[in-house]
Amino acid sequence: MLSNEYLLRMENISKSFSGTQILNKVNLSIKRGEVVALVGENGAGKSTLMKILLGLHKLDNGSIFYKGVQVNINNPKKALDLGISMIHQELSLIEERTVAENIWIGREPKMGPFITWKALYEKTEKILETLKIQLDPKEKVKNLSIGNKQLVEILRAITYDSDLIIMDEPTSALSDKEVEILFNIIAELKDRGISIIYISHKFDELFKIADRATVLRDGQLINSKEMALLDQNELITMMVGREINSIYPKENSNISDIVLEVKGLNKKNVYKNINFHVRKGEILGVSGLMGSGRTEVMKAIFGLELPDSGEIFIDLKKIRINAPADAINNGLALVTEDRKMEGLALQRSVKENISVVKIKSMSKLFFVDNSRENRYTTEMINKLLIKTTSRNLPVDSLSGGNQQKVVIAKWLINNPRILILDEPTRGIDVAAKSEIYKLISSLAQQGLTIIMISSELPEILGMSDRILVMHEGEVKGVLNRDEATQEKIMTLAVGGYRSNAY
């Protein structure tokens, strides 16, 4: 085909760091108005390839053609000037600034040197109304939910009027309703001839919106194929180089006595009359749309956000949890939904991150017993199959899946009885997900009581013994594994019929 049929062609792109080959003669092309899914495991080279396109990394070899002309993109401003923008997985918003300021930062309407605030807010209201997004332009970003922050990030990228937009895990923090808004935005962008490189580990999304999949593995191009000619198993095999026979390796556990019971938990304008229980060896899935109160209830149980009223029982004994320390002392552990902001100290070592919860018991007279700390952390690294060349490496050098294992290890080292997992596989690839699922299933078989919040219905259905569904701060129903379907869960999640709610 002629070169001008493509908006972008990246040809024979190679890149090494410290002698390690990260990309080896990779090709990527995209036509105008096309959505190309760029897929591969964490570490496959997707991020490096996109950083080269954005001018964040300099390529070693290869060529980039944009609009039929060979270009040298040596910094992010050059990429923006050419018409290339990106929605990053890691939020880069200014928390103390408003929604409007974050969307138009550096491009504010001005009269002389002064920002014309009325015009700024009117401009923001217009785009919010056009895209049917309910946000207050004057609200500070720090007060927004993670999902709404992600929408602000998306809005900022699309307002650059780019011809090519890179979307890196754009739905990782979005509710189903917000995902629908994004897909409508993508359809509108396509109609305007705007091209999109879409990076996601959520296969259902890829098959809904992508025209073509380009697959990388170990820094090499494996294939680029029309989505209509692919199925999920073939895509997985291309990504990981082998078949994964069961993505959800749920094993039956010996489910026994009630371990945790919650009665009448209330918090004004957040949730009300929350009642549920979970047994030893059971995986209780918690589903519901973003804003349904799922995370807030679990934070209350863990002592992070206290309820106005209600009771919590462990082994049928009423307990008081006023702070996380109380929860930990009663055998609870919480893996939060945002591992990088809340679960990890990214610049600290793998060892330090794993041992932090248990560090007091490893210390004497304010001095840490290093040999004991090394022994414990090495045991957890081996037990959870964390891929790292050293326990002393900074945790941000690990892949997303291995970072998530570190967060889980941090809590398992303390031998909890009840493990709460909030979005345990967010932003990690299919092979890493399978490893996390095996770990969760194994822990349940060992008698751990597990509560798993997830926005991914296949994950909830594949891993749960029972599924609790919330809607607008209420428990709408609890479904047994053998009766649960996506349709039944979604009916409850949008406020439909009430099933057995306890």
- CA dist 421 and 411 (Å) reads 11
Q: Do 428 and 42 touch, CB atoms closer than 8 A?
A: yes
The answer for 389, left when phi > 0, alpha when psi is -120 to 50, beta otherwise, is alpha
Q: Do 416 and 410 touch, CB atoms closer than 8 A?
A: no
Domains and CATH numbers, the chain: 3-240 (3.40.50.300), 255-331+417-502 (3.40.50.300), 348-415 (no CATH)
What pLDDT band is residue 501 in, cutting at 50, 70 and 90? very low
Which DSSP letter does residue 143 get?
Answer: G
Position 374 pLDDT exceeds 90: no
Q: How high is the pLDDT of residue 3?
A: 43
What is the percent of the chain with per-residue pLDDT over 70, rounded to a whole number? 95
For residue 232, the cross-strand partners are none
Q: How high is the pLDDT of residue 98?
A: 94
Q: How high is the pLDDT of residue 214?
A: 96
Q: Do 57 and 15 touch, CB atoms closer than 8 A?
A: yes
Say which residue, 24 or 359, is predicted with more confidence: 24
Neighbours of 462 (CB within 10 A): 18
Position 375 pLDDT exceeds 90: no
Neighbours of 141 (CB within 10 A): 20
CA 411 to chain centre: 20
Q: How high is the pLDDT of residue 90?
A: 67
- CA dist 388 and 397 (Å) reads 9
Coil vs helix vs strand at 275: strand
Q: How high is the pLDDT of residue 497?
A: 62
Position 153 pLDDT exceeds 50: yes
Q: What is the pLDDT of residues 261-274, one digit of tens each?
A: 999 999 998 999 99
Token pair belonging to 417: 């009885």
- CA dist 46 and 42 (Å) reads 8
- CA dist 276 and 464 (Å) reads 15
What pLDDT band is residue 365 in, cutting at 50, 70 and 90? low
Neighbours of 425 (CB within 10 A): 24
- CA dist 425 and 77 (Å) reads 33
Q: How high is the pLDDT of residue 262?
A: 97
Q: How high is the pLDDT of residue 175?
A: 73
The strand pair at 84-87 and 164-168 is best described as parallel
Please tell me whether the overall predicted TM-score, pTM, comes out greater than 0.85 for this model: no
- CA dist 236 and 243 (Å) reads 7
